[in-house]
Amino acid sequence: MRLPKHIGIIPDGNRRWAKGQGMDKSEGYVHGISPGMSLYRMCRELGIGEMSFYGFTADNTKRPSVQRQAFTRACVAAVEELAKEDASLLVLGNTKSPMFPQELLPFTARHDFGKGGMKINFLVNYSWEWDLGYKDGAIGPGLKTSEVSRIDLIIRWGGRRRLSGFLPVQSVYSDFYVVDDYWPDFRREHVEDALKWYAAQDITLGG
């Protein structure tokens, strides 16, 4: 089966999942860590070369502070968990804002952990405006994420059919697969189905 070289992950639906469980919205995020580790291990076993995780965005930080703190903690925990595995890990986002967690500063240069291997790009306090240096129609001079490669397949959990500002340049040719289940309800079959679907797509790169 033809596999994507680089998979983008939009792990949406944590708050709606928490609500459905009778929890406070903010309590959903911690339940997204274990799905992320399962997904990482699954992709590592498949030999996927690169993954980009949508942690949180500068837009997200405008939410109530109890939520902001909860998703920030979950992202810090996820990056620390990944650093115990085999991975070539890089955290990308606007570090010049107080919303960027200081604990993750050491990860903003790429390091190999364990035996290295799969490239993982973890977006933290990311925004497309920051990435493109966008303001009033002016952009540049550089793409902040220029070392993140083109994404072949984006999988979004939680049913929404949009990119929500996720890596616009790397996503120009991506095939986009939506899982209706919420991210904390992650199952291996979601990814298996996405990969089967991807293998059946033609790859034209716009041609």
Q: Does 132 bind a copy of itself (CB under 8 A)?
A: yes
With b for 16 or more beta-carbon neighbours within 10 A and e for fewer, the 117-148 pattern comes to ebbbbbbbbbbbebbbeeeeeeeeeebbbeeb
**What is the token pair recorded at 107?**
């990860």
Name every residue whose Cβ is closer than 8 Å to that of residue 98 and which is 6 or more positions away in sequence: none
Residues 176, 181, 185, 193: which binds a copy of itself (CB under 8 A)?
176
Residues 21, 41, 47, 62: which binds a copy of itself (CB under 8 A)?
62
> Quick check: 150 and 191 in contact, CB under 8 A?
no
- 21 to 60, contacts with a copy of itself by CB under 8 A? 57, 59-60
Q: Does 17 bind a copy of itself (CB under 8 A)?
A: no
> Quick check: 43 and 119 in contact, CB under 8 A?
no
| Contact window for a copy of itself (CB under 8 A) among 40-48, 72-80, 89-97, 136-144 | 136-144
**List of residues contacting a copy of itself (CB under 8 A):** 57, 59-60, 62-63, 127-128, 132-134, 136-143, 146-147, 160-165, 168-169, 171-177, 201, 204-207
